[in-house]
Amino acid sequence: MNDKPVQTALGGVTYLEHIPAMPKRERILARLGHRAATTILTDDQTAFLERGIEEALLLCHVKGAYRRIPVAECTDRIIRLENGTVFQSAGLAQLLSRSTEVVLMASTAGSAIMQRIAEEVSTGSAALGLILDATASHAADAGLDWMVSFLNGTLQRHGKRLTSRRFSPGYGDLSLEHQRIIFDLLDLDRMGLFLTEKYMLIPEKSVLAIAGIEGITE
């Protein structure tokens, strides 16, 4: 063992240094305004798109973290966790109405891709920058998808699963200020993330989410 004894992850947070996340191509295209029924690409444009997506995937280093916390109380607009954390949102409360625990999650596509996007848009090819940007957005989302799938795999053997949807701060009536609560509970400094005064995550292609754990009853 190394000099210092191995400690458990801080407060039960599990950190993932490399998530094998693969964003869905159709989502990337949709974000770029592609419509399957109408949009027509030449061979060159298709090749340009594919190269852009491939390049983005190379530069995205998807990392993540998650933490499970039991729910102490869930009213019609307030969710109180066992550690004293409170979320105020009627939409989230409805989602978690059958949940015994919440899972807080974070995923980031990393900073290398952001640097490249900025370079392309300012001095290179803005079109390529857009493709990189869209791919990175969905790579971060795919990181969350991977964690959801992973957690469902582990929960299933206990007759449990995650709620079919997940909430992110800024979604519905869950205000963006909740970013700070999740950021701190996951200790995301440790992953190299930063939260601005206005609750924006840096690197920009980073996302936070909350889902509930509920029993499989049917």
Partner 1 sequence: MTRKEFQQRLAEQVLILDGATGTELQKRGMPLGVCPEQWVLDNPQVLVDIQRAYIAAGSGAVYTCTFGGNRLKLAEFGLAEKNREINAELARLSRKAAGQQALVAGDIAPTGRFVRPFGDLAFEDAVAVYREQVLGLLDGGVDFFVIETMLDIQEARAALLAVRETCDLPVCVSMTFDQAGRTLTGTDPVTALITLQSLGADAVGCNCSTGPADMIQVIAAMKPYAKVPLLAKPNAGLPKLLDGKTVFDMSPEEFGAFIGRFIEAGVNLIGGCCGTSPAYIEQIRKHSSGLQPVAPCPRRFSAITSARTTSFAGPDIPMVVVGERINPTGKKKLQAELREGKTAEVRRFAAEQVAQGAGVLDVNVGMPGIDEKETMLKMVDLLSPVVDAPLCLDSSSADVLEAALRIYPGRALINSISGEQAKMERLLPVAAKYGAMFVLLPLDDSGVPETAEQRCAIVERVFAAAGQYGFTKNDIVVDGLVMTVSSDQKAAAETLKVISWCSTSFGCCTIVGLSNVSFGLPERGWVNAAFLAMAAASGLTMVIANPSSETLMRIKMASDVLTVRDKNSSGWIAYSSQTSASAAPGQAVGPERSAPEKVYDAVLKGDRDGIRELLDAALRGGLTPADAVDTCLIPAIVEVGSLFDRKVYYLPQLIQSAETMKSAFEMLEPMLATTGVQVVKKKAVIVLATVKGDIHDIGKNIVGLMLKNYGFTVHDLGKDVSEHDIVRAAKETGAELVGLSALMTTTMVEMKRVIALARKEGLTCKFMIGGAVVNEQYAAEIGADGYAPDAYAAVKLAETLSA
Tell which positions 17-46 bind partner 1, by CB under 8 A.
17-20, 29, 32-35, 38-45
Q: Confirm or reject binding of residue 55 to partner 1 (CB under 8 A).
A: yes
Q: Which residues ranging from 71 to 100 are in contact with partner 1 (CB under 8 A)?
A: none
Rule CB under 8 A: say whether 6 interacts with partner 1. Answer: yes
**Gyration radius (Cα) of the chain, Å:** 19
Minimum gap (Å) between residue 16 Cβ and partner 1: 6
What residues from 139 to 168 belong to the interface with partner 1 (CB under 8 A)?
149-150, 153-154, 156-160
Segment interacting with partner 1 (CB under 8 A) among 76-84, 88-96, 101-109, 129-137: 129-137
Q: Which stretch binds partner 1 (CB under 8 A): 11-19, 72-80, 82-90, 103-111?
A: 11-19
Closest to partner 1 by CB, 85 vs 150, is 150
Binding to partner 1 by residue 3, rule CB under 8 A? Answer: no
Residue 42's identity, in one-letter code, is T
Which one of the spans 74-82, 83-91, 102-110, 200-208 is the region binding partner 1 (CB under 8 A)? 200-208
Instruction: Count residues binding partner 1 (CB under 8 A).
Output: 73
**Closer residue to partner 1 (CB): 80 or 171:** 171
Structure tokens at 180: 């700070």
CA dist., res. 183 & res. 31, Å (int): 26
Distances (CA, A) of 152 to 70, 103, 200, 211, 215: 16, 11, 28, 11, 11
Token pair of 174, please?
A: 């869950």
What is the distance between the alpha carbons of residues 113 and 52, in angstroms, rounded to a whole number?
Answer: 12
123 interacts with partner 1 by CB under 8 A = no
Alpha carbons 96 and 213: distance in angstroms, whole number: 8
- Is 218 among the residues that bind partner 1 (CB under 8 A)? yes
The one among 172, 175, 181, 187 contacting partner 1 by CB under 8 A: 175
111 binds partner 1 (CB under 8 A): no
**Which amino acid type is present at position 38?**
T
> How many CB atoms within 10 Å of residue 77?
14
Q: Which two tokens stand for residue 177?
A: 């200020």
Strand pairing category for 14-16 and 63-74: antiparallel
